Structure 1
């Protein structure tokens, strides 16, 4: 027998770095070992005591025969170990690993595994749907169900709960309540065991002070005693409580806390209500819509949105409803559970329209922008979506034809018309995409912030050009550069397609254009500008000015090359979709 124990002791000290000698707690002598009750032949090394595993059938080696204080609670644990709820020590990495390594299973209790990261004094109730409600640790096994499913008062947890003072006694399932609450005529254990087998029923004493009404989302501290308060607790006269909302609930005015005073057994004001608002941010994610809100048929601000509020979304200026979306889909109701009734729908931009014919302050070409670089180069560009501009690739490369960094490129466009003049706005670039890895002279610039669409900023329409070039004419806009200076005048230039008499060097799929009026010329500032064709009431992007005019002071009225939109349509659609707004924003169930 002695040799057996010596072998076990050697293994124990080599492999059990988390264990502490607890033989003194059970008065265990290593030479004799630990003998299970009723199992005279079952003997274990003293090192098996309080190690998390019940080697005895009745759990005596883990102190499970004690209903009050478990002797394992006196076992000190190392820094690399986790202390089971009843006191045993196990390796820390076995905590919350999905397997029960403590004899009471406490290493997998939600009390230890579902701590709130932002507040370790709060623990999540058990949840089947993954949505947790957090309650204070001192509300577990206190005789009152604070979790909706009563998991904080479950037998599995409370049967091994430690009552922290001698003034406490146990409910039948293990929860701790004040001794004075036994047979006091009021049920204080959820199983009513504190009022069973009572020979006489005590008359409840008249209440004194103010009682705290139940709200599972309250976080209450007695300012006078600095003690946490909960449902049914009473506050003495002239004592003050501080109330905060928990579990992502808020006061209706979004105050951080509320203070209430007990005066002559009555609160000086009603206890405030904690509410949960519907997500208001989802109404403002998109620039494509605006929202108005009503509650009980009265207009309210779309902030701090209460259940019952109806949010009516409308398409913002220069946006329109998508054909696949019905009008009623733009109405959202804030439900009692603080969730929206449906997904938030977005609108799509109105493209290719100018209001210059009816509004003298509107741009003739609100899709046209300037593209500038640190090299002082200025090209044209075209808005193709609120967050994307298309231009020529050669406009955003250096002298060695290396694509510039995003910080070296920015976009200039017209903004709102204010105080008699059009604002000039500058947009930073977050990404540069080269068509076909630079084989084609086209680049898309993704902006850091989208355009707010206006009479001076809206996208051009996209689409294949085949049906729109039969008229043989097109146009472009720009601030042409001449005499080494970019012009201040926004110029519209008429173009015509040269189908059979093009003298410029072009490849298959490229367009050949020249000025319709031979007295007009194309200059460096026109590079990257969009070749636009009119089709009905819309204007469409047909091509992008590419080869010639280049970086020189010379202008020309000779044919030049433009990249045809058909060459890049699939790539262009894919590139835009990466930053384009989705048809709707998903609302979690």
Structure 2
């Protein structure tokens, strides 16, 4: 419950991975967040990358002569190898926990609640965390794909009770080797107001729960539009407190295309200049009445990455 309302937090429902990717809903977690992708051109001003960030390394827009494969996740598309090269799977010991985005050779950006003990501000021990990179099927993961963590860092203002400032950085113990299938996502270098993104579609990916409450093995993505705070608040009054902080925004559909439990921490990205830029992190979404499951017919809340660029720059390695 959040402010007297049912809210699903996109994360911490740790579930062992099944060998089949069943039909269902695109996932997130306890305050559930969801996304779906469609790349749309924009007329907004050209983004600048962070000063020390090598933009030439970050992910370019993927093109394929093959048609997209429609997955059984509602509204989702199954990702091919290299199509979402920044997206990683964060495990706590042997259980899938959350998604995250590569932002440098040793830094993964994710939601703070993905790096904490359940419903607390207490950070998980780094030696419990594994990060799998460059994979699209969790059933095919092996030791070649994982990195151990050296530290898990929450933003100092993170509040687990209010679900605010939901952002964290996972630092790895060794460098990621970039290639065509593994690349960091670009970071915007300015703080363009989120209103410039209203009705613009971004892409989100994840291995979240489907309608049957099972984690999908195959990475899926969707396109989803950013919606205005006014529109989001009118249909999701339980988000008003979170949105009032000015560090989050809403995105999604009201037609069953959404993220769900397990999608938390994944990035909402937009294309500019043929590159993918990270703007949001899956954080929370509405919960179905009397169920520990996201409601795919309602909008989700994303942490606004642009509000934390200075903190990210200071702490990425």
Greater C-alpha radius of gyration:
1
Q: CA deviation at 1:373?
A: 1.3
The number of residue pairs the alignment matches comes to 230
- TM-score (norm: length of structure 1): 0.36
**2:174 counterpart of 1:449:** yes
CA deviations on 1:245-288 (whole Å, 9 max, x unpaired) are xxxxxxxxxxxxxxxxxxxxxxxxxxxxxxxxxxxxxxxxxxxx
Q: CA deviation at 1:358?
A: 6.4
What CA distance in whole angstroms lies between the structure 1 residues aligned with 2:216 and 2:247? 28
- 3-state SS of the aligned residue for 1:411? strand
**Paired residue for 2:205, among 461, 471, 477?**
477
Instruction: Name the residue aligned to 2:259.
Output: 522
**Paired residue for 2:183, among 454, 458, 478?**
458
Distance 1:422 1:380, change over 3 A: closer
- 3-state SS of the aligned residue for 1:526? coil
What CA distance in whole angstroms lies between the structure 2 residues aligned with 1:471 and 1:357? 25
Distance 1:375 1:561, change over 3 A: farther
CA deviations on 1:66-104 (whole Å, 9 max, x unpaired) are xxxxxxxxxxxxxxxxxxxxxxxxxxxxxxxxxxxxxxx
Q: CA deviation at 1:575?
A: 0.6
Q: Which runs of 5+ in 2 are unaligned?
A: 1-50, 68-79, 160-164
What CA distance in whole angstroms lies between the structure 2 residues aligned with 1:388 and 1:359? 32
Instruction: Name the residue aligned to 1:501.
Output: 231
Distance 1:510 1:476, change over 3 A: same
What CA distance in whole angstroms lies between the structure 1 residues aligned with 2:198 and 2:294? 31
Q: CA deviation at 1:375?
A: 8.2
Distance 1:465 1:435, change over 3 A: same
**Paired residue for 1:369, among 85, 88, 104?**
88
Q: CA deviation at 1:385?
A: 0.7
- 3-state SS of the aligned residue for 1:395? helix
Distance 1:549 1:434, change over 3 A: farther
Q: CA deviation at 1:359?
A: 9.1
- 3-state SS of the aligned residue for 1:539? strand
**Paired residue for 1:398, among 109, 117, 123?**
117
**2:151 counterpart of 1:431:** yes
Distance 1:493 1:359, change over 3 A: closer
Q: CA deviation at 1:507?
A: 2.9
**2:97 counterpart of 1:378:** yes
- 3-state SS of the aligned residue for 1:449? coil
Q: CA deviation at 1:564?
A: 0.6
Distance 1:522 1:554, change over 3 A: same
Asked whether the equivalents of residues 251 and 299 of structure 2 are also in contact (C-alpha less than 8 Å), the reply is yes
- 3-state SS of the aligned residue for 1:363? coil
What CA distance in whole angstroms lies between the structure 1 residues aligned with 2:66 and 2:151? 34
Instruction: Name the residue aligned to 2:294.
Output: 554
**2:292 counterpart of 1:572:** no
Instruction: Name the residue aligned to 1:36.
Output: none
CA-atom RMSD in angstroms: 3.2
Distance 1:552 1:449, change over 3 A: farther
CA deviations on 1:222-250 (whole Å, 9 max, x unpaired) are xxxxxxxxxxxxxxxxxxxxxxxxxxxxx
Asked whether the equivalents of residues 355 and 455 of structure 1 are also in contact (C-alpha less than 8 Å), the reply is no
- 3-state SS of the aligned residue for 1:570? helix
Asked whether the equivalents of residues 61 and 271 of structure 2 are also in contact (C-alpha less than 8 Å), the reply is no
Q: CA deviation at 1:378?
A: 1.9
CA deviations on 1:274-323 (whole Å, 9 max, x unpaired) are xxxxxxxxxxxxxxxxxxxxxxxxxxxxxxxxxxxxxxxxxxxxxxxxxx
- 3-state SS of the aligned residue for 1:566? helix
Q: Which runs of 5+ in 1 are unaligned?
A: 1-323, 325-346, 580-589
Q: CA deviation at 1:374?
A: 3.6
Distance 1:450 1:349, change over 3 A: farther
**2:293 counterpart of 1:563:** no
What CA distance in whole angstroms lies between the structure 1 residues aligned with 2:55 and 2:307? 25
Instruction: Name the residue aligned to 1:488.
Output: 217
